[in-house]
Amino acid sequence: MTYKLLALDLDGTLLRHDGSLHERDRWAIERLQSGGVAVTICTGRLYSGSREAAVAARIQGPIACVDGSHIVDARDDREHYHASLTGDHAAQLRRVLERHRTASFVFAHDSIVHDAAGAPWSSYVRTWSPRVTVVERVTSHPYWEHERGLLAVVAIGSKDSVHAAAEELEGELGGAAFVVRFAVTRTADTHAMVVRAAGPTKGTAIAWLADYHGCTVDEVVVVGDWLNDVPMFQVAGRSFAMGSAPSFVKEHATEELSAWSADDAGVAEAIERAWGTL
């Protein structure tokens, strides 16, 4: 198989803890691009939190953000695809979060908004975008009623409050929203959930990007390290999981990398294994 497109997760995969690229990864990507292979990004971050990485990796063309909910061209910031929660669905989400009093972060207009309740967790979400605004009350912000809606909402709280809110949302919003909950590793009782429009995933993004670049999904190689990468592992022709990835993630990848994280140049290893020694 001759692979024509490489899609990369960012945090822990392409980007190291300080937000930089490993020089070996940068060099391998450049060699791959010079050979005519397209390289793109598929991340949970907002576009504003991804564009700098795209520039550093010299990526030309669309990148997929917010787990496939937002696809934007890194060359000129032109939007190709936007899926959000709007109208009654956004209103229902706001009411549920108010009832359960979670620390909430609104992802909209390529920025993040939160209030004082979110301050202890601001560093947790700040990696997704440098555009962060602190307001008096996040549930009163105009973004909830804006016609472009919300790309995503992150809610953090006790395990009981987050799980109760998630179950309520799954009942009220039905198939309109995708809701995922998980433990925050800092403390056992603290959990979080991400809510966004149903439909888009990193898997649908890979299909869109493959079509854009004129290839099939079987001709796509992907690299990732976390649960939200599983949908693109299930779609792409070849997939690599970082050594640090949870077992569930590795089970869905076609191969596991010896590199533990971005600090070990895992992207370069994946390129060498998929395209040969550069």
Using one digit for the tens of pLDDT, what is the confidence trace for 20-64?
Answer: 999 999 999 999 999 999 999 999 999 999 999 999 999 999 999
pLDDT value of position 277? 63
Residue 278 has pLDDT above 70, yes or no: no
Residue 156 has pLDDT above 90, yes or no: yes
Report helix angle 266-275 to 23-34, nearest 10: 30
Q: Which of the four pLDDT bands, split at 50, 70 and 90, describes residue 196?
A: very high
As a whole number, mean pLDDT of residues 182-211 equals 91
Q: How far apart are CA 203 and CA 207, in angstroms?
A: 7
pLDDT value of position 189? 85
* pLDDT tens-digit series, residues 85-99: 999 999 999 999 999
pLDDT value of position 174? 84
* pLDDT tens-digit series, residues 120-138: 988 888 889 999 999 999 9
Q: How far apart are CA 261 and CA 243, in angstroms?
A: 7
Residue 185 has pLDDT above 80, yes or no: no
As a whole number, mean pLDDT of residues 152-162 equals 95
Distance of CA 259 to the CA centre of its chain: 21
Residue 79 has pLDDT above 80, yes or no: yes
Find all residues with CB under 8 Å of 99, minimum gap 6, and list them.
Answer: 165, 168
Pure H helices in the chain: 23-34, 51-56, 87-100, 122-126, 159-173, 202-212, 230-235, 247-252, 266-275
Q: Which of the four pLDDT bands, split at 50, 70 and 90, describes residue 18?
A: very high
pLDDT value of position 123? 86
Residue 240 has pLDDT above 70, yes or no: yes
pLDDT value of position 197? 98
- Reference 268, options 63, 5, 13; nearest CA is 13
